[in-house]
Amino acid sequence: MSPALIALFSAFGLVLAVELPDKTLVATLVLTTRFRAWPVFAGVCVAFAVQCVIAVAFGSLLTLLPETLVSVLVAAMFGVGAFLLLREGFSEGSEAGEDASRSGPGPVSFLRSALTSFGVLFAAEWGDASQLATAGLVARLGNPFAVGVGAFVALVSVAGLAVFIGSKIRDRIRPKLIQRVAGFVFAGFAAFALAQLLW
C-alpha cells in the first residue's frame, strides 16, 4: 500500500473514531432539530473543510522543524487529545448528550441555516481532538493532502450520520466507551512519538 493511502486511511480511521462520540456529533444533531437537514449538512461540511486546511497547514509547518522537536510537539498534541477524550469519557455526564428535542423556530432560509451551522461547528472544532490528530498525522506521516482528505471524509461521514440517522445513532452507541478507547489510542500515539526520541 502506498504511503499516501496509508496516510489517508490512518487519518480517516483515527478522526472517525474520535468524532463519533464528540461534541461535533451532538452539535450537528441539535442543529438538525432546529433547521432543515441539507443546509445544516452544507454549513457543517464547509466548516470541516476550513478546519482541515488549518490543521494540515499547522502540521505541514511542523515538518519544517527539527525531527526531535517535531516528536515532542506531536507527542504533546496527542497527549492533550488523550487527556481531553479521557476526561470526557470518564466524566459523570449522561451518555445521551444535550437535549435535542426543542422544536424548530419555523421556516428559516437555506443561507441562514447553513451560516449558523458553519459558525457553530467552526467554533466547536478549534482545539478539538480531531484537529490535533490531523496536525499530528501530517507532521508524523507527511502527505498533507492525503491526511487532509482522510480527515475531511471522516468528519463529513460523522456529520452525515448525525443529519440522516439523527437520534437513532445516540441509541446505538455508547459515547463514553468510544471516548475512552479513542483516549487510550491517543495516549499510545503520544507514547510512540516520545519513544522515537530514544531510537
3-state secondary structure of 8: helix
Task: Report the pLDDT value the prediction gives residue 101, as an integer from 0 to 100.
Answer: 37
Residue 170 has pLDDT above 60, yes or no: no
Where residue 28 falls among pLDDT bands split at 50, 70, 90? confident
Task: Report the pLDDT value the prediction gives residue 113, as an integer from 0 to 100.
Answer: 86
Task: Report the pLDDT value the prediction gives residue 151, as an integer from 0 to 100.
Answer: 93
3-state secondary structure of 46: helix
pLDDT in tens, 120-169: 888 777 767 788 888 888 888 878 899 999 999 999 998 888 887 654 54
Kindly state the average pLDDT of the residues 98-121. Answer: 68
- CB atoms under 10 Å from CB of 156, counted, come to 16
Task: Report the pLDDT value the prediction gives residue 127, as an integer from 0 to 100.
Answer: 65
Task: Report the pLDDT value the prediction gives residue 4, as an integer from 0 to 100.
Answer: 87
Residue 78 has pLDDT above 80, yes or no: no
Rounded to 5 degrees, what angle do the CA atoms 20, 159, 107 make?
135
Residue 55 has pLDDT above 80, yes or no: yes
Task: Report the pLDDT value the prediction gives residue 166, as an integer from 0 to 100.
Answer: 53
pTM of the model: 0.66
64 burial type by CB count under 10 A (0-12 exposed, 13-18 middle, 19+ buried): exposed
User: Chain-wide mean pLDDT for the chain?
Assistant: 77
